[in-house]
Structure 1
Amino acid sequence: MVANRLLDGGVVPFLGAGVNLCGRPETAHWERGRYLPSGSELASHLATGIGLRYPYGDSSDLLRVSQYVDVSLGNGPLYEALHAVFDADYSPTPVHRTLAAVPALIRARAAGAHCFYPLYITTNYDDALENAFRDAGEEFDLLTYIADGPSSGKFRHTRPDGTSEVILVPNSYTGLTCDERPVIAKIHGAVDRHAEQDDSFVITENHYIEYLSRSDTAQLIPVNILARMHRCNFLFLGYSLSDWNLRVILHRLWGDRGLKYNSWAVQPQPERIEEKAWARRNVELLDMRLEGYTTELDSWLTRALQPATESP
């Protein structure tokens, strides 16, 4: 079911920090330009690796550590440290590669007919997903949340040719659709490796307070993309409901309501309370590792091109 819906453009893959660890050897650690950092590794680096020593107990709490850096040194040094981490050529993970292969499969299935491409949402700051699309020869539109500065709270649309604009009136902006190519939405900002001044990171406690205080975050999203989100299933990858940022996003986009379309979350060994929490939002929990799920999804996507095949 997931594979067929994905090839119809009817599934929104929603990528969290766990995606960046997919395929990484269990004994490996963050290595700049090779292995992307986990949230705790990034927090530990900020706590001790930029000329500052975090004075409190848990230096793996990214939210609190980044807030401490922001208060102690300022937003500029925090952004510089984050840029230094993510301005490197990290290899895309198996999840990124699988998702980047989907547009070509959609075109093959459509056989020249009109088709819809997926919307991909991520809260990760790196550009590994974009690089997977570039490696696959796929164009995409990029939608990036702006966390600071005069355009704070708005999104920037970057086209395949590199031109960009800040979206000032989202409910009338029609320059983004999923009809021509996929859209990647980075709703917590991202590194900009070509223009450091355009870096944007929703990472500190203050950023999340600002995120929560907006009257309706959904109204900041371009109208066509928002409509797409309301008519799709979601596939949550690399997330746990214990993740603070995911709970914030779900609350701002849907409040306490469940999703209107049944959705899925891949999470190994979830706790019982997480199963109940996902179920309240009409999300079926798939108890498996991302590596195994990605392998299965690869297989089902290929087989889904055959009409008689039943997929998971």
Structure 2
Amino acid sequence: MKRRPEEPRPTLQGHLEPLREAHQRGELILFVGAGASLALGLPQWSELIDHMAEELGFEPERFRSFGSYLALAEYYRLQHGSLGPLRSWMDRAWHREGVRIGDSQVHRLIVEGRFRLIYTTNYDRWLENAFEHHGREYVKIVTVADLSRIRPDVTQIVKYHGDFENDASIVLDESSYFRRLDFESPLDIKLRADVLGRSVLFIGYSLSDINIRYLFYRLARLWRHAMPDVPQPRSYFFTPQPNPVQEAVLAQWGIQMLSGAADDPTQALARFLRLVIEPQADERAG
């Protein structure tokens, strides 16, 4: 019988084994986006834009029409002289009381996985809090000074777009984003060294995020230029729903899209992570 295009299981099953093997060897880099924290109830970007509009004296809907969130944040910085006040508000809003990190299955699975290198574009501390909650050591990398604290036996959490504890590290406005596109910061150099010979698994990202898509493109070019005669280790992008157009686009950059076809993206991600880090979960699932 011909399978319907929306059935995801063949896609998952066909690529789980090499993904699991890379994970078991400790050679799978995890890249974590905001979608991994959906179940925590953190503010959406729309709340950030509304807050900027309120502080700047604009009606929120009209303010949104003036440009991308990068341009709006740039305008905020120009008006206030820095992003400090906005960063402080974000820190409070993203770490509201009542968030129970111990209830997040996604974060528990990330902590329990054999991920020696975790990169995240999230500014918040929920990954770090999850490691602390579950009693696991980690080293947080935000600036070049943090590189001296790396230990081979401890997971590295690399805050690729900055951390709330360091205003200068935050990639939020247009200028900081353009500097990121240079791909020449200390963290970029570290990333280039880390990815050679390893696969990368991206979770919690939107396929419309141009920032992460540019990263896909740069990593593919990096591998081809650094090791032109060596096959690039396959990397993976998990999404709750199939998308054949994006699947074809990502494939040209050596990235296999894996989909869960679930209405609840958090449940889909948790199930997927279980299948990767707990091989026995495959038998229970099917």
**2:34 pairs with 1:17:** yes
For 1:299 and 1:255, the matched residues in 2 are separated by 30
Quick check: 1:267–1:290 contact (8 Å CA) kept in 2?
A: no
1:244 equivalent in structure 2: 210
- Code of the residue aligned with 1:86 in structure 2: it is W
Ranges in structure 2 where 5+ consecutive residues have no aligned partner: 1-16, 225-230
**2:158 pairs with 1:188:** no
**RMSD of the TM alignment (CA)?**
3.4
Count of residues in Structure 1 that have an aligned counterpart in Structure 2:
253
For 2:68 and 2:204, the matched residues in 1 are separated by 17
For 1:38 and 1:87, the matched residues in 2 are separated by 13
2:69 equivalent in structure 1: 62
Higher helix share: 2
1:285 equivalent in structure 2: 257
1:91 equivalent in structure 2: 100
Task: Summarize deviations over 1:7-32 as a string: whole Å, max 9, x none.
Answer: 321111111121121xx3xxxxxxxx
Q: Secondary structure at the match of 1:190?
A: coil
Quick check: 2:43–2:94 contact (8 Å CA) kept in 1?
A: no
- Code of the residue aligned with 2:160 in structure 1: it is I
* 1:212–1:69 Cα change, 3 Å: same
Q: Secondary structure at the match of 2:240?
A: coil
**2:87 pairs with 1:79:** yes
Identity of paired residues, percent? 27
Q: TM-score w.r.t. structure 2 length?
A: 0.74
2:176 equivalent in structure 1: 207
For 1:6 and 1:83, the matched residues in 2 are separated by 32
Q: TM-score w.r.t. structure 1 length?
A: 0.68
For 1:62 and 1:269, the matched residues in 2 are separated by 25
Q: Could you tell me how far 1:190 is from its partner in structure 2?
A: 1.2
- Code of the residue aligned with 1:45 in structure 2: it is H
Of stretches 197-206 and 272-281 in structure 1, the one that deviates more from structure 2 is: 197-206
* 1:236–1:59 Cα change, 3 Å: farther
- Code of the residue aligned with 1:234 in structure 2: it is V
Ranges in structure 1 where 5+ consecutive residues have no aligned partner: 25-33, 104-116, 146-154, 158-166, 168-172
Q: Could you tell me how far 1:180 is from its partner in structure 2?
A: 0.9
Q: Secondary structure at the match of 1:37?
A: coil
For 1:270 and 1:257, the matched residues in 2 are separated by 27
Quick check: 1:257–1:281 contact (8 Å CA) kept in 2?
A: no
